């Protein structure tokens, strides 16, 4: 069937698991069998029969009749079915409701389902009732569904082919569906394209025959170069998550429609330089280093998510210069780190790690020597950020006297006492706990001379960053008795994955607790991070919102409504905003809202306009001098 490229486009859409998220007869079964003694068995059998029919392994009519016989359905069940289906329309179909209202003559529903429930659902989207072709139910005098109209062409195999042939549509016919009967239309030459629709269900036997895989209706409109609800389909946003980011994050991002690849380990610079090509969003924890070289190789990178507190593993300045915002989870694992610090203080004060080792070797070493309560002891906290401050509160509640030192002026919580110098704190503290970040200037922050300033018999904790402590100096302090207990959760060099070996100068030392960077590794913390960071990334991708970004100008934007949003990132130079507005004026774009914020490096301008413009406006915006990145949302 020869079709010219410039002819009219027709969209022929299946109903079950395509227009809606579900198989309608499965939902009808849940309603009609709600009080039936064989409910669960029958529902499962209905689903099995549906799958056999969709995969082409059972004749269509046989599948439909078998399900009707199992349903125990009645006309009285239809209003509730219609109500439920109306709430279960596929997300991208619902998102593009304007498209259906604007193209009623070009849109058809052809389904092996039943008109009785399909017509009321799809006509709410502007689809014409006489453009709906489906089976008819047969009822007895009591309203029971007893059969289907066997004269309806859609009740037999190949029925969709015959139905489309009867329509005699002249133009490009795009068949959209999730089942084998949808592919048959393409196979018979009655459609120019078959889109295997995978937003709700993926059937491998169907996908392998598709001209295109469509994870959403947005993808179809994008592929056909037609305007949709989104500037581009979300499945075209490629995300790479490293270091076993919590599965909730994967689920959340996939549910949003993004294409996500997860990798269990960290990557070195060369590996990441290769892997980053074509990636729009990078997610990682603390091991992988995102250097300036990596960012230069990132040809499509839009955002970086650090699924942890710190961002020192990321060259945030290089990211800023490239127009890439970085998001982290500054508070999500605070409690977990603090609880580990408290646990290690108590354990080290009691010498529990050594006593535990002795017991496992059959040695009974009951003694009170070098075993103390933490109540009344002086805790010195170096770094009074969110973790240090919360540790201060909990430690005080346990009866400790708290002292803290921070380069930045911080308000004391509770009865904590601020020290003016680190020397003052070290001369007082019975327990010293580090909670500083891993910025380069903090490398080897804590040296031999600092250990020498301490009281004899101190407890030392580093749950901050590995490079901030001179490990050899700590080892000397432990062996000399200056430090009688140490808890270390972070190391200058850490394995990329659990499969790689670990070595440290601290291994085998007395009353020394070594943990594999697990300060924030609790289910609660990882779930909080898996919720917080994806929300920030999605918010930026979907709306341009940069609230809580660690390197970008922070702008909290109103929801995008009845407008199109232009996002312009540029070098902070005088006159750029004027050039942006002059360009918009050339295209007669009516500005309904505009937001601007700058820092020393970049300017971030968000402009909402009241109608859509073509590629020429985008090209003009990108040509403005000092532009770093530009994108349009609608």
- Active site includes 465? yes
Cα-flanking dihedrals φ and ψ of residue 446, to 5°?
-110, 110
* Close Cβ partners of 342 (under 8 Å, ≥ 6 residues apart): 391, 394, 395, 398
Beta bridge pairs of residue 338: none
Q: How far apart are CA 520 and CA 192, in angstroms?
A: 53
Q: Distance between CA 599 and CA 320 in Å, rounded? A: 10
The whole-angstrom separation of Cα 305 and Cα 62 is 51
Residue tagged active-site, from 77, 246, 517, 631: 517
Pairing of strands 401-405, 172-177: unpaired
Alpha carbon separation from 364 to 361, 367, 513, 582 (Å, rounded): 9, 9, 20, 83
User: Pick from 534, 620, 546, 556: which is nearest to 584 by CA?
Assistant: 620
| Chain-centroid distance, C-alpha 217 | 20
- Give the span between the Cα atoms of 533 and 131, in whole angstroms: 44
Measured between alpha carbons, how far is 415 from 412 in angstroms, rounded to an integer? 7
Query: Cβ–Cβ contacts within 10 Å for residue 458, how many?
Result: 20
Q: How far apart are CA 335 and CA 333, in angstroms?
A: 6
Give the long-range contacts of residues 615-622, CB within 8 A, separation 24 or more: 616/587, 617/583, 617/584, 617/587, 617/589, 620/583, 620/586, 620/587, 621/566, 621/568, 621/580, 621/583
Q: Which of 435, 465, 570, 631 is catalytic?
A: 465
- Report the candidate in 75, 57, 63 with the shortest Cα–Cα distance to residue 16: 63
On the 0-12 / 13-18 / 19+ scale of CB atoms within 10 A, 415 is exposed
| Ordered strands of the 9-13 beta sheet | 132-135, 107-114, 9-13, 172-177, 193-197, 212-214
448 is catalytic: no
* Distance of alpha carbon 533 from alpha carbon 525, whole angstroms: 12
* HEC assignment per residue over 550-609: CCCCCCCCCCCCCCEEEEEEEECCCCHHHHHHHHHHHCCCCEEEEEEEECCCEEEEEEEE
Task: Pick the catalytic residue from 30, 297, 476, 494.
Answer: 494
Residues catalogued as catalytic:
465, 494, 517
């Amino acid at each position: 069937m020869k079709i010219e490229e410039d002819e009219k486009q027709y969209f022929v859409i299946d109903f079950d698991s395509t227009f809606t998220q579900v198989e309608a007869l499965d939902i009808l079964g849940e309603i009609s069998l709600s009080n039936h003694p064989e409910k669960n068995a029958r529902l499962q059998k209905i689903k099995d029969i549906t799958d056999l029919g969709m995969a082409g392994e059972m004749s269509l009519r046989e599948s439909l009749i078998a399900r009707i016989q199992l349903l125990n359905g009645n006309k009285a069940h239809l209003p509730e079915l219609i109500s439920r289906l109306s709430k279960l329309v596929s997300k991208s179909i619902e998102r593009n409701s304007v498209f259906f209202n604007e193209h009623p003559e070009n849109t058809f529903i052809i389904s092996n389902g039943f008109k009785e429930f399909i017509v009321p659902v799809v006509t709410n989207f502007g689809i014409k009732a006489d453009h709906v072709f489906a089976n008819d139910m047969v009822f007895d005098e009591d309203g029971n569904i007893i059969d289907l109209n066997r004269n309806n062409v859609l009740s037999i195999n190949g029925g969709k082919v015959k139905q489309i042939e009867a329509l005699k549509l002249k133009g490009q016919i795009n068949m959209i569906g999730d089942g084998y009967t949808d592919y048959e239309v393409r196979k018979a030459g009655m459609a120019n394209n078959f889109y295997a629709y995978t937003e709700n269900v993926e059937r491998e036997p169907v996908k392998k025959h598709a001209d295109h895989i469509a994870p959403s209706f947005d993808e179809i409109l994008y592929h056909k170069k037609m305007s949709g609800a989104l500037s581009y389909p979300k499945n075209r946003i490629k995300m790479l998550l490293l270091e076993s980011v919590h599965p909730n994050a994967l689920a959340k991002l996939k549910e949003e429609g993004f294409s996500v690849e997860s990798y269990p380990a960290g990557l070195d610079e060369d590996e990441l330089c290769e892997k980053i090509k074509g990636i729009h969003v990078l997610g990682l924890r603390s091991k992988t280093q995102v250097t300036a070289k990596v960012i230069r190789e990132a040809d499509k990178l839009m955002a970086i998510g650090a699924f942890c507190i710190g961002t020192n593993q990321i060259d945030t300045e290089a990211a800023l210069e490239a127009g890439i915002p970085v998001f982290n989870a500054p508070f999500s694992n605070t409690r977990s780190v603090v609880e580990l610090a408290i646990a290690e203080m108590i354990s080290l004060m009691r010498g529990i790690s050594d006593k535990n080792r002795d017991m496992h070797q059959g040695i009974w070493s009951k003694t009170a020597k070098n075993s103390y309560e933490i109540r009344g002891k002086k805790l010195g906290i170096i770094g009074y950020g969110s973790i240090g401050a919360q540790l201060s509160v909990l430690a005080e509640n346990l009866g400790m006297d708290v002292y803290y030192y921070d380069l930045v002026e911080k308000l004391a919580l509770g009865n904590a006492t601020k020290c003016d110098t680190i020397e003052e704190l070290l001369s007082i503290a019975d327990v010293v706990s580090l909670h500083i970040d891993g910025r380069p200037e903090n490398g080897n922050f804590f040296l031999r001379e600092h250990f020498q300033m301490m009281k004899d018999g101190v407890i030392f904790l580093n749950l901050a960053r590995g490079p901030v402590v001179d490990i050899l100096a700590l080892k000397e302090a432990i062996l000399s008795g200056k430090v009688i207990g140490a808890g270390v959760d972070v190391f200058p060099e850490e394995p990329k994955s659990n499969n790689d070996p670990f070595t440290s100068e601290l291994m085998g030392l007395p009353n020394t607790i070594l943990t594999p960077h697990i300060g924030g590794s609790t289910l609660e913390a990882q779930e909080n991070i898996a919720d917080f960071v994806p929300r920030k990334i999605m918010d930026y991708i979907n709306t341009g919102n940069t609230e809580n970004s660690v390197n970008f100008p922070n702008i909290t934007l109103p929801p995008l409504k009845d407008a199109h949003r232009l996002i312009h990132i540029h070098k902070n130079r005088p006159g750029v905003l004027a050039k942006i507005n002059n360009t918009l004026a050339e295209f007669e774009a009516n500005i309904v809202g505009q937001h601007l914020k700058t820092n020393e490096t970049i300017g971030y301008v968000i402009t909402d306009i009241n109608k859509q413009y073509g590629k020429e406006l985008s090209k003009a915006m990108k040509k403005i001098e000092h532009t770093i990145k530009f994108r349009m949302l609608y």
